[in-house]
Amino acid sequence: MRGDTTSEERNIIYIGRKPPMSYVMGIITSFNTSDTKEDTLKARGQAITTAVDAAEITRSRFMKDISVGKISIGTEEMPPREGESGGAARNVSTIEITLTRK
């Protein structure tokens, strides 16, 4: 799961429905197995709370040398769910949390 930036590679971790500790292990593994200085957590909707929890647990309990570099919030327009009446698109909140290793 890698994305491209202008000068260096960065790891992107997509947050979903797993418990926060699953993502904490992914963050720790990502920082320890590669020479990356940055990981970005991406989440939408109800997964935003899991992303914040994973970032804070990692930063406060496991890797004290990590800080929150940048937080971006936004809204994405999603198509209606299958079987949902009305047929209107819905707005879903998004967040990107960039963790930086000192």
Please state which CATH class domain 2-101 belongs to. alpha beta
pLDDT of 65 over the 80 cut: yes
**DSSP tag of 100:** E
- The mean pLDDT value of the chain amounts to 87
Q: What is the pTM of this model?
A: 0.82
Q: Identify the helix (H) or strand (E) that includes residue 48.
A: helix 48-57
Helix pair angle (20-33, 48-57), 10° resolution: 50
pLDDT reported for residue 44? 96
Work out the burial of residue 88: count CB atoms within 10 Å of its CB; fewer than 13 is exposed, 13-18 middle, 19 or more buried. Answer: exposed
